[in-house]
Amino acid sequence: MSTRSTFGTIKRIVAILLAIAIVLVAGIIVGQAPAIFGVEQDPEASIEFEDQRGDGTNVTIDEVSLSDGGFVVITDGGTDPIAVSDYLGSGSHENVTVSVDEDDEPELVGRLIATVHHDTTGDETYAYEETDGEEDRPYLENGFPVSDTATVTTTDDDALADSFVVESVEAPSTATTNETVEITAEIRNPTDFDTQQVVDFRVDGAVLEQQTLELDAGESREVTFQIDTAGSPPGEQTIGVYTEADGALQAIDLEFHTDPSIDVVDADDENVTVDVAIPEDGFVAIEDDETTVADNETAIGTSDELGPGEHENVTIGLEESVDEDEELAAVLYEGDPEEPGDASPIEHDDEPVETTFTIADVRAAAEEAEDEDADGEDGDAEGDEDGDAEGDENGDDGDGE
């Protein structure tokens, strides 16, 4: 074999080895790309919270897993926590005990929800409530908080035996924010005695209605509650039915009953009056090209804070004089008008909910409407006069006859 052919063979072998090395290195880099290039994987969590009996001061989480560490928060369906676990590091944890503080009044009994939260501040201290939900938010799976529910009964045998039992709760899965929703619960008296007890109906933990129910020994009966959804914010709400030591929860998703909108009905150089349909707590801002809440946290005028729902004749005082031919905008914002820096425009179909107008145009439209009303009243008056005159003439004829 010649020296040239041998050298060519060696070059081919080296090229093959280099190609294999490049493939292997590329695979390693691809596999480690998130870590190498600073791309974080979506945090993940899971939790198992089984039915149990306790003394009302603590509960046990069977298993919880947190990719980035955090906390387990216990609620009864309301927005405020009843108890929060100690900080939990990344990884899986079994038989985690969550206790209430000795000075706290709420007991860990009934139907409870355990939700897994991040430690976004990195200080191993739970801060979700005190930051208004800005920090230490829940882990999410498919857009929903990672949580589990369990019924916790007391170890006091007498109390457990004496309590009515919530066998089931039935409610529609969806509703709109302008209707009355009927909730039905089946309550059973497990004791050997005829007795009566109070049954609570709660929405997001707040007691809205109580009924005193009298049941014979072993009797079951359906009770009905009605919730008026007017003024409720859209989104998922938790409804619960509770007896002395038992309870059951049901989620209901509320949809805003109409499209968010704003309509200017009157305006002058001091005030603007609007009709509003707003799906969440917020306000109306009157803006021009240079003064906007979104850009510089100021406006020509802002309304008082408005709750979810429809509002008529909302008056906004103008803080500066405006030319009647200047184009203005009435814009719908979510948030507190006292803290415009935290407000954000409310959108519908990916567009801000706003309407443009001039004071001159609004006045002209109002005057035109007044003229039409006046013409209608004149027509009614003329018709009444003609009718009366005709009736009088007929009546006179009749009298004459």
Give the separation between CA 199 and CA 207, rounded to whole angstroms.
10
Provide CB contacts within 8 A for 178, sequence distance 6+. Answer: 229, 230, 257, 258, 309
Q: Which residue has the tokens 């074999």?
A: 1
| Overall pTM surpassing 0.85 (yes/no) | no
The token pair that represents 312 in the structure block: 């008529």
Do 239 and 171 contact (CB within 8 A), yes or no? yes
For the segment(s) 156-255, the CATH number from 3.30.565.10, 2.60.40.10, 3.90.1150.10, 3.40.50.2300 is 2.60.40.10
The series of mean pLDDT values per 10 residues for the chain, 401 residues long, is: 51 58 47 43 89 85 95 87 94 93 72 92 93 92 89 61 87 93 94 90 84 94 91 87 88 93 95 96 93 85 94 94 93 93 92 96 87 66 57 51 41
359 CB-contact burial (10 Å; exposed 0-12 / middle 13-18 / buried 19+): buried
Q: Which CATH architecture has domain 261-362?
A: Sandwich (2.60)
Q: Which residue has the tokens 């050997």?
A: 192
Do 353 and 347 contact (CB within 8 A), yes or no? yes
What is the per-residue pLDDT for 371? Answer: 72
Query: What is the end-to-end Cα distance of the chain in Å, rounded?
Result: 147
149 CB-contact burial (10 Å; exposed 0-12 / middle 13-18 / buried 19+): middle
What is the per-residue pLDDT for 143? Answer: 82
What is the per-residue pLDDT for 37? Answer: 40
Give the separation between CA 57 and CA 84, rounded to whole angstroms.
12
- The domain over range 45-153 is classified in CATH as 2.60.40: yes
Q: What are the two backbone dihedrals, phi and then psi, of residue 380, each rounded to the nearest 5 degrees?
A: -65, -45
